[in-house]
Amino acid sequence: MVATEKVRAMPGEVLERLTPLLPSGRMVEPAETAATVAYLCAEESAQVTGQEIAVDGGAGLNTFTLGSERPG
């Protein structure tokens, strides 16, 4: 989950429940995504082809909901 302006505008209670569920313990900063794009545009990555690179702090490894808590 990238910490964009819209994501940061989510209700605090949602962010407080979501952030500890992320394997990295924090959201991805936009600059981190930009650094990945810059690498892929650079000559050093010329041999990187046909890849899906998830810059998500491990969020893709989790299953969680942004809705209300599930009833116990």
pLDDT value at residue 27: 92
* pLDDT tens string 6-62: 999 999 999 998 888 888 889 999 999 999 999 999 999 999 999 999 998 888 886
Q: Which residues are registered as beta bridge partners of 2?
A: 28
Alpha-carbon distance of 59 to 38, in angstroms, equals 22
Reduce the DSSP state of residue 8 to 3 states and report it.
helix
pLDDT value at residue 34: 97
Alpha-carbon distance of 5 to 71, in angstroms, equals 30
Tokens 């600059």 label which residue?
A: 31
* pLDDT tens string 31-40: 999 999 999 9
Cα dist from 67 to 17, 19, 26, 53, 55, whole Å: 10, 14, 19, 27, 23
